[in-house]
Each structure stands twice: as C-alpha cells, then as structure tokens.
Amino acid sequence: MIEQEIVELIRIQDNAGMAALAEKYGKLLRYIIQGILGNRQDDIEECVNDTYLKIWRNVQQFDFDRASLATYLKVIARNTALNRLRDVKRHEEHCCQGEFSELADNVPNLELSVEEQIVRKEQAARLNEVVRTLPDKEREIMLRKYFYLQSSKTIASAMGMTVNAVDTKLSRLRGRIREEFSGYGWT
C-alpha cells in the first residue's frame, strides 16, 4: 500500500490504515526510538504506540505537501522518545532521593513563559539556518547526533568513518554553533 492510500485511510479513521502504517513503518519507528531509549523494551513499545496514537489523532493537521508521512513519523517518534527518556531519567533521579515529600519541590517547571517561548523560537530558526548551510555529510552527522541521539560509534559505523573522525567533526560543529549563538549568552 502506498503512502497516500495509508494517509487517506487514516483520515477516514479506518483501522486498516493503521495496520498498513504499522507494517510499513513499524521497524523504522522502533529503530529510531530504540536509538534514543536504548534497551528499555517496555518504554520502546509504549513510545511506538504513542506515535501511532498521535498520528491517528492529528492526521488532519498534517500537510502532506510539505513533508511525507515518513518525515512526520520520524519527528513524532523522535520527540516522543526524547520526552520519554527525560521522564524516565527524572523518575530515576527522584526515586534515588527517597523522600516523597520533596518530590513536588524538585520537579522542574517545564512550562516556558511567553518571552522564553519567543526566544526559543528565534534560536530554533537560527539553528535551522546553520544546519541548512552545512555540507550534506556534516548535516547528517549533526542530525544523527542531536536529532536521533545516536552514539558516535553508531554514527561512525553507519557512515563508514572512525569514531575519532566523528568526534572531531562534532566538536567543530559545536564550536560553530556556539559562535552563532554567542549573542544569546551561550558559551
């Protein structure tokens, strides 16, 4: 089944669409999510299901002329897995502290103020520009590292490079981004 047919089926809330989606993209989603969450099998399964659910609920909002279904799936899977990873880490840190009464005080406030949101939007736009100007290979390394959260070893193996070469490139890229963002007080 081609992508367009899957989208049409999901738009009319037909379960066959989700079945076809899972068959066609299930492995890709699992690969992306596993790269971020590691070997937490239960969390991986939950994230995959959350990704399907988000597609099911928000399919009407997606503009498939702008990007393909696969691209939307990658972004949703990545962000869902990243949120899950942070939740798990936060949970582990708080469990170690033991005192439940202190939990409420220690949970950071993740809501951003309006001003912070505007600054964040500017920074994201700036980062987009920087990434857009990178050569293809460096852009791929950047995306693999900071979008898909792959390790240097995985990147090196996938791109036929040495781990040292990947680390050197990443270090240079970080330096360049630091320069670009020096105006925001990032050092």
Select the residue interacting with another protein from 140, 151, 163, 167 (CB under 8 A): 140
120 interacts with another protein by CB under 8 A: yes
Residues 123 and 184 sit within 8 Å (Cβ to Cβ): yes
Of residues 172 and 178, the one with the C-beta less far from another protein? 178
Q: Specify the long-range contacts of residues 119-122, CB closer than 8 Å, at least 24 apart.
A: 119/184
64 lines the binding site for another protein (CB under 8 A): no
Could you tell me the smallest distance in angstroms from the CB atom of residue 99 to another protein?
A: 25
For another protein, which is the closer residue by CB, 98 or 108?
108
CA–CA gap between residue 138 and residue 151 (Å, rounded):
15
Q: Is 162 helix (H, G, I), strand (E, B) or coil?
A: coil
Among 1, 19, 53, 67, binds another protein (CB under 8 A): 67
x/- map, 88-117, another protein, by CB under 8 A? ------------------------------
Pairwise CA distance, residues 9 & 7, whole Å: 5
Supply angle C-alpha 48, 38, 6, rounded to 5: 20
Shortest Cβ distance from residue 117 to another protein (Å)?
A: 11
Per-residue x/- mask for another protein, residues 150 to 169, rule CB under 8 A?
A: --------x-----------
CA–CA distance from 133 to each of 82, 105, 111, 138 (Å)? 26, 43, 31, 10
Residue 160 burial (CB count, 10 A):
7
Binding site for another protein (CB under 8 A): 27-28, 31-32, 66-68, 70-72, 74-75, 78-79, 82, 120-121, 123-124, 127-128, 131-132, 139-140, 143-144, 146-149, 158, 174, 177-178, 181, 186-187
